[in-house]
């Protein structure tokens, strides 16, 4: 009896300890001599060898010194679709490149950080799956560099599951409603056409469409020079470039996006209130860009 109670007690202690483990949103993979473009092919090859699929590439701000690769994998997509509350937003992982003074720093979005923040419920059921995906992504990048230093702040697993920046700020479960359509097909057609036409200086970086689930996710470059990436990224920090591009999701006949006050804070958790105030208009501007894409 005593042995059984001890086992239960130790299990509780271990579970509590795990939930308080701190995760950072990004890893610095390495810093290498040379330009961004001199390293992109090597990263692409490393990801493809681990069976990841490259679904998009772009230069944020239209800046040749910044670059992002978006990638996914079949088991990642299958996993994300199990989480009905916009879990498909987590089906895209990213690698960031920042060139300064003749050297390029390569970073990656920490998959586990995003998974805990986006999946919320029943993570224990699928934890082994998404930890394997996360480890595979990290191991793929170790062919490029082995530094793997976490950066960009840190949050416990418990806090990620209910993340918000400050009191009265939005949660993952407080999306911005962009538009409703007569059908999924109509919404998909309108968004695609608007992106083809670069409406509002937007550019499609990637799309993932799951027709059987009536879900589509779009990664969108915001190239308006006054209100887009060129305006807000230099203020909040370009080192976290692997958080881009911004995304919107079409589920059924409704298009939504994560609130800017949630998404920017999640990937830039070290932002001071003073810095946050410098991009006070950005969440509204992003909403306007995305809303225009749905009309």
The model's confidence at residue 20, banded by pLDDT at 50, 70 and 90, is: low
CA distance 159 to 162: 5
pLDDT of 93 > 80? The answer is yes
pLDDT at 259: 97
Domain positions in the chain are 24-155, 176-293
For the domain with range 176-293, which CATH number is right: 3.30.1380, 3.40.50, 3.30.70, 3.30.310?
A: 3.30.310
Mean pLDDT of 163-187: 94
Angstrom distances, CA of residue 108 to CA of 41, 78, 124, 134, 295: 16, 21, 24, 11, 33
| pLDDT tens profile 245-263 | 999 999 999 999 999 999 9
Nearest to 69 by CA among 51, 42, 44, 105: 44
CA distance 50 to 242: 19
- Topology match between the domains 24-155 and 176-293: yes
Fold of 24-155: TATA-Binding Protein (3.30.310)
pLDDT of 4 > 80? The answer is no
């Amino acid at each position: 009896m005593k042995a059984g109670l001890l086992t239960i007690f130790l299990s509780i202690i271990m579970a509590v300890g795990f939930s308080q483990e701190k995760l950072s949103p990004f890893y610095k993979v390495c810093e290498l001599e040379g330009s961004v473009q001199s390293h992109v092919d090597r990263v692409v090859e490393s990801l493809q060898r681990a069976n990841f699929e490259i679904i998009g590439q772009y230069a944020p701000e239209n800046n040749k010194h910044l670059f992002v690769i978006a990638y996914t994998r079949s088991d990642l997509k299958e996993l994300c679709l199990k989480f009905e509350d916009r879990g498909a937003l987590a089906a895209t992982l990213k690698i960031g490149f920042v060139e300064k003074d003749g050297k390029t720093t390569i970073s990656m979005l920490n998959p586990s950080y995003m998974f805990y923040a986006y999946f919320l419920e029943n993570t224990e059921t699928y934890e082994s799956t998404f930890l394997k995906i996360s480890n595979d992504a990290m191991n793929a990048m170790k062919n490029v560099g082995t530094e793997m230093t976490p950066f960009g702040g840190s949050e416990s697993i418990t806090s990620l599951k209910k993340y918000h920046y400050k009191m009265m700020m939005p949660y993952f479960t407080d999306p911005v409603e962009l538009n409703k359509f007569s059908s999924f097909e109509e919404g998909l057609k309108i968004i695609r056409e608007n992106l083809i036409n670069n409406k509002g200086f937007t550019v499609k970086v990637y799309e993932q469409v799951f027709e059987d689930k009536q879900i589509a996710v779009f990664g969108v470059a915001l190239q308006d020079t006054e209100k887009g990436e060129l305006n807000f990224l230099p203020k909040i920090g370009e080192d976290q470039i692997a958080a881009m591009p911004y995304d919107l999701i079409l589920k059924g006949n409704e298009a939504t996006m994560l609130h800017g006050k949630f998404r920017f804070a999640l990937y830039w958790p070290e932002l001071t209130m003073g810095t946050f105030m410098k991009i006070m208009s950005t969440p509204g501007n992003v909403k306007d860009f995305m809303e225009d894409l749905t009309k």
